[in-house]
Amino acid sequence: MSEIRKHYFLDEYCIIAPNRSFRPSDFKKTDEASNNKECIFCQGNEEKTPPATAVYTLEGVTSDEEGMVRDWKVRCIPNMYPALSLKKSSSDRYREGFGFHEVIIETPRHDYEPSMFLDEEIIRLIRIYADRYTFYINKDGIEFVSLFKNYGSSAGASIAHSHSQLIALPLIPPIIKKEMNTENCPFCNIIQRESVSKRLILMQNDWVAFAPYFSRYPFEVWIVPKEHFSDLSRLSDVYGLAFMLRNVLSRMHALFGSVAYNYVFFQCTDNRYHFHLKVFPKLSVTGGFEENTNIYINPVSPEDAAALLRQ
C-alpha cells in the first residue's frame, strides 16, 4: 500500500509506493568498465589537467607550483569547466557568479573507489575533505562550500576515475537555512527516533546510519553524528565517519554490484546546524511528476531498504 510521507520537520513530501515483487536484482545497474589508457586523472597523466592546487603525498601536502608532482595519493585541481568564476565584480552582482570549483582526485588508481578503500585510504580522504573544506570556507566572500561525489555516468560523473567535487559559493542555499529555522536542533531528535527504528542500518560509536522515514530515493541513507557539530572543520572523529561511509558504500556494492551513486555533505559554519552526510545509489530516475510537484516517488520503503542493507 502506498504512503504519502512528510519530511521530519520541513513542509516536503514523498510517496512510498512499494512494489510487491521487488528484488534487489530489479535495481541492479552497473556502468561499463572504463578504459584508463586516456584517463586524464590517472597517475602519469598529470600534464593533461590544470596544475594541482594541493597534492597529498606520504610526505605531506604540496602543489604543482614548482613542477609537476607525480608520486601522489590524492590530487586537487581546478575544475577545467568551472561552474563559477574566480573574479569578483566591483558591484554586488559578483554574487551571481563568483566562487571556486575544485576536483578532488581521490586515488591514483583507475577503477577503484571508496567502497574498496583500505582503512588508511578512506581516513586520508576524509581528512582531505575536511582540509579542503576548511581552506575554502575561510576565503573572503565565501559563505558555503558544497562537497559531493558523483560516481558513475548515470550519477553525473563525466570522468570514470573516482573523484569528488567542491564548489564554494558566496551564499548559503535556502535548504540549509530552512533546516536551521527551528528552535531546537531537529537532527538531534531524528537520531533519537531512528536509533531505535526499523530503519536503522548501522550504529558505530558516535555515528548512526539509517534509511530515513522521508526517503526520496530507493536505498537512500543518512549518516549522522550523535554529537552536534556544524561542519567538517569541527570534525573530531575522522575514523568514525570514514568507517561509516565505506561501510555503507560496501553494503550497497554487495547488494547491487558496481552501482552508480552520489554522496553529499550537508554542513554550515552556523553552530545551529547539524552536520550530516547523505548517500544515494542511482537506482531510479525522476520525471515530470517530480519536476511538477517536488514530490518524489520511491518504489522501495525505507524499512525494506534498511533490512536489506543490514544483512
Higher pLDDT, 127 or 182: 127
Domain membership flag for residue 33:
no
Q: What SS3 state is found at 263?
A: strand
- Give residue 205's pLDDT band: very low, low, confident or very high (50, 70, 90): confident
- Give the mean pLDDT of 234-258: 96
Domain assignment present for residue 86? The answer is yes
Asked whether residue 20 is assigned to any structural domain, the reply reads no
For residue 263 the three cell numbers come to: 554522496
- pLDDT, one tens digit per residue, over 250-294 is 999 999 998 999 999 999 999 999 999 999 999 988 899 999 999
- CATH assignment at residue 297: 3.30.428.10
Q: How many domains does the chain have?
A: 1
pLDDT tens, position by position, 103-122 = 999 999 999 999 999 999 99
pLDDT tens-digit readout, 40-75: 999 999 999 999 999 999 999 999 998 899 999 999
Domain that holds residue 65: 40-310
pLDDT band (50, 70, 90) for residue 93: low
49 or 20, which is more confident:
49
Instruction: Write down the pLDDT at residue 6.
Output: 98
Residue 249: which H helix or E strand, with range?
Answer: helix 238-256
Instruction: Tell me whether residue 234 is in a domain.
Output: yes
